[in-house]
Amino acid sequence: MATLDWSQCPVVESIPGKVSGAWVFRDTRVPVSAIFENLKTSPIEEVLENFHVTRDQIQTVLDFAAKNSRVPQEHLPVG
């Protein structure tokens, strides 16, 4: 799977020297990867409480990842 171009997601940023340049939620130090890891085992309410990001921020990241990780039709195996 290709790496996502997070620079196109409006709710995240990567700043050299801030959390080692990892993609974080804008104006926070919360890495996007931490949210994905925690959503594997925790309900969203718990993630919201523990990381102090908004439901809208998480939804935007999830929508962005889903939309941009789809395999283009021309790359799907034929039948």
Q: Tell me what the mean pLDDT of segment 37-64 comes to.
A: 96
Q: How many whole angstroms separate alpha carbon 33 and alpha carbon 20?
A: 13
Amino acid at 68: N
Structural domains present in the chain: 7-70 (1.10.10.10)
| pLDDT exceeds cutoff 50 at 1 | no
Instruction: Please list the alpha-helical segments (H only) found in the chain.
Output: 32-39, 44-51, 55-68
| pLDDT exceeds cutoff 70 at 71 | no
Q: Tell me what the mean pLDDT of segment 24-52 comes to.
A: 96
pTM, two decimals, is 0.81
